[in-house]
Amino acid sequence: MQAARPSNAVDAVIVGAGFAGLYMLHRLRGLGLSARVFEAGSGVGGTWYWNRYPGARCDVESMQYSYSFSPELQQEWQWSELFASQPEILRYANHVADRFDLRRDIQFGTRVTEMRFDRATHRWDIRTDRGDVVSARYCVMATGCLSTARVPDFPGIERFTGKTYHTGHWPHEGVDFTGRRVGVIGTGSSAIQAIPVIAQQAAHVTVFQRTPNFSIPSRNGPMTEAYAEQWKSEYPARREHARHARTGILNNPNDISAMEVSDEDRQRIYEERWAAGRTNFMAAFNDLIFERQANDTAADFVRGKIRETVRDQSTAELLAPKNHPIGTKRICVDTDYYGTYNRENVTLVDARATPVTEITAHGLRAGDIEHRFDAIVFATGFDAMTGALTKIDIAADGVTLRQKWEAGPRTYLGLMTSGFPNMFMITGPGSPSVLSNKIVSIEQHVDWIAECVAYLRACGLDCIEAKQSAEDAWVQHGNEVADKTLYPLANSLYMGVNIPGKPQVFMPYIGGVGAYRQACDEIAAEGYRGFELSAQTAALAAE
Ligand code: FAD
Ligand code: NAP
């Protein structure tokens, strides 16, 4: 690889300009470092730039799904709904970019394709698809866990004469489905948000469901001034509380077992949680993700609600999940998802009994039937957690990241991976990441990385690398914690099962956001225990 010219040298390259990349740039600038951000999209916002499908909105309340690093920002920004829609969240990301003058260091429409670490100089050489060659001391991968959209390899896609869309790659100009027959493949969080909205417009919607998911009503509504004010007046304490909560969400946890209460009390508690809506449902009892018997009570309750809501009982039965414990896939939050199946213009197809086998010129084939469509929506998800990282050709000492992670990702704290010095990951595999309120986890990682870089500089050091032994111990700990829960029982994106050939390991850390933060803080306080710290002079002397 051609080396970067000195003029193309910066202290840090950040890959990605979603919430992680934006805040990382702000923090590194604050330390006086020069930084350059590369972003494949033409604007900031990451997830909220790409996922413009109808109905897209956050599943964590906006008062919580927002940055906490700037007291002024969190006081001045006004959300219009309890759960903001994608356009509003994208406006927020743009506001942050402008308010903190971030754009001047972001190069849009540029994808990082290759990264090489040079042991002699302790620097990364980074290449992009636009021909840039940049040298950086540190590389921060703010590439996102859900940024590599995936369409299954259905044969015949090129034959289809209608339009195809992926929820994670939605056209910026929007899509008018009026009068159109639409096929939707998938019933994950994206589909569950999109289907009710598409059904209001389209002539007919046919949903192909392979695995039903549990969904809880969001009870979304306008943000009242009183509600926002209550949050804003207590923000410092509430944010601090969230940073130490299990999922990074203040969800009113009930610290008793589901099996400790009478059947009547349990039912009442579930009814209250269902009426209140949102992901708080899973905090109804403290053992729902640990004990199958407890979990079954919550799953039965939701299945009952589905049967109550959906008039056609064979459709209700198909929609009622039975093959995984509730909450072991990210629980969905919806607005009238189950009720949508009562519409005349919505049909549910069991894509497990009759799998989609090919796309045809006029639709798709599932089982023996050819379904005819004007448009097909792929709500088929992402190559989660590792996809964006392994898509880049990253190598150090002749070993690529793809080789190293052949049997599944291995990291120390989800922040670094041994053998790849000075490369940090934000919400990487091995951290709470997709199991948490992502903004809480992003801020924690960004702060940890910024403080780590400041520490290195203060000590006259310029290189940090995870030790193999520390990484092995962290991976083992992560597996042990996961095995105490019901999570590994689900075929979820957390396990990588949605990508053919991807190794099946439980990727995020499920020990809890608070416990994880404490571990990271302790490791830093002990002089970055488990990391090798060094200086370039030492590297040169050793040669
Ligand atoms: P992203 O927002 O994914 O940004 C990563 C950026 O990196 C992208 O813009 C991408 O283009 C860029 N990039 C990747 N590779 C390269 C490369 N090689 N070169 C250049 N650029 C690159 N989380 C929650 O906690 N609550 C929610 O309610 C919630 N809702 C979600 C809804 C949807 C539809 C999806 C898909 C995810 C949702 N998430 C939610 C998770 C969401 O991804 C995170 O909350 C958060 O937005 C991630 O921010 P990020 O900056 O880490 O990554
Ligand atoms: P997903 O949860 O991975 O769902 C993908 C869907 O496509 C699944 O139903 C899957 O079925 C189906 N599918 C894949 N290949 C298929 C095939 N060949 N035939 C039939 N069906 C197929 O993806 P997602 O819905 O985009 O959500 C991903 C993550 O993004 C979520 O877990 C969440 O973290 C986040 N998200 C959050 C929100 C929110 O509420 N704010 C909204 C959207 C996304 P199987 O389950 O059988 O594989």
Q: Based on C-alpha coordinates, what's the Rg of the chain?
A: 24
Ligand 1 neighbourhood includes 19 CB (under 6 angstroms): yes
Among all bound ligands, the one having the nearest atom to the CA of 141 is 1
Ligand 2 neighbourhood includes 63 CB (under 6 angstroms): no
Ligand 2 neighbourhood includes 185 CB (under 6 angstroms): yes
The H or E element that residue 118 is part of is strand 112-118
Ligand 1 site-directed mutation target among 19, 26, 38, 47, most atoms within 8 Å of CB: 47
| Nearest-CA residue for atom 35 of ligand 2 | 189
- d(CA 204, CA 494) in angstroms, rounded, equals 33
- Contact present, 343 and 199 (Cβ < 8 Å): yes
- Write the DSSP assignment of 357-408 as a string of letters: EEE-SSEEEETTEEEE-SEEEE---B-TTTHHHHTSEEEETTEEHHHHTTTS
SS3 of the chain: helix, strand, coil, percent, to 5: 35, 20, 45
pTM of the predicted model over 0.85: yes
Among all bound ligands, the one having the nearest atom to the CA of 218 is 2
Ligand 2 neighbourhood includes 356 CB (under 6 angstroms): yes
What are the chain's domains?
9-148+384-542 (3.50.50.60)
| Nearest-CA residue for atom 14 of ligand 2 | 380
Distance (Å) from CA 190 to ligand 2 centroid: 6
Distance (Å) from CA 90 to ligand 2 centroid: 21
Among all bound ligands, the one having the nearest atom to the CA of 332 is 2
Ligand 1 site-directed mutation target among 22, 143, 246, 493, most atoms within 8 Å of CB: 143
DSSP tag of 515 = H
Q: Are strands 363-366 and 356-359 parallel, antiparallel or unpaired?
A: antiparallel
Among all bound ligands, the one having the nearest atom to the CA of 37 is 1
| Nearest-CA residue for atom 32 of ligand 1 | 58
| Nearest-CA residue for atom 18 of ligand 2 | 152
Q: Which residue has the tokens 């192909």?
A: 208
Ligand 1 neighbourhood includes 379 CB (under 6 angstroms): no
The ligand 1 atom at the shortest distance from the C-alpha of residue 442 is: 52
Q: Give the model's pLDDT for residue 543.
A: 41
Q: Give the model's pLDDT for residue 500.
A: 84
Q: Give the model's pLDDT for residue 370.
A: 97
Query: How many residues comprise the chain?
Result: 543
Is 134 strand, coil or helix?
A: strand
Distance (Å) from CA 441 to ligand 1 centroid: 12
- d(CA 301, CA 181) in angstroms, rounded, equals 34
Q: Which of 399, 406, 403, 446 is nearest to 420 (CA)?
A: 399
Q: Which of 345, 104, 66 is nearest to 207 (CA)?
A: 345
Among all bound ligands, the one having the nearest atom to the CA of 215 is 2
Cα-flanking dihedrals φ and ψ of residue 145, to 5°? Answer: -90, -20
pLDDT in tens, the chain (543 residues): 555 555 699 999 999 999 999 999 999 999 999 999 999 999 999 999 999 999 999 999 999 999 999 999 999 999 999 999 999 999 999 999 999 999 999 999 999 999 999 999 999 999 999 999 999 999 999 999 999 999 999 999 999 999 999 999 999 999 999 999 999 999 999 999 999 999 999 999 999 999 999 999 999 999 999 999 999 999 999 999 999 999 999 999 999 999 999 999 999 999 999 999 998 999 999 999 999 999 999 999 999 999 999 999 999 999 999 999 999 998 999 999 999 999 999 999 999 999 999 999 999 999 999 999 999 999 999 999 999 999 999 999 999 999 999 999 999 999 999 999 999 999 999 999 999 999 999 999 999 999 999 999 999 999 999 999 999 999 999 999 999 999 988 988 888 888 888 888 889 999 999 999 999 999 999 999 999 999 986 555 444
- d(CA 393, CA 390) in angstroms, rounded, equals 7
Q: Give the model's pLDDT for residue 501.
A: 86
Q: How far are the Cα atoms of 21, 104, 205, 491 from residue 39, in angstroms, in the given order?
A: 9, 13, 35, 31
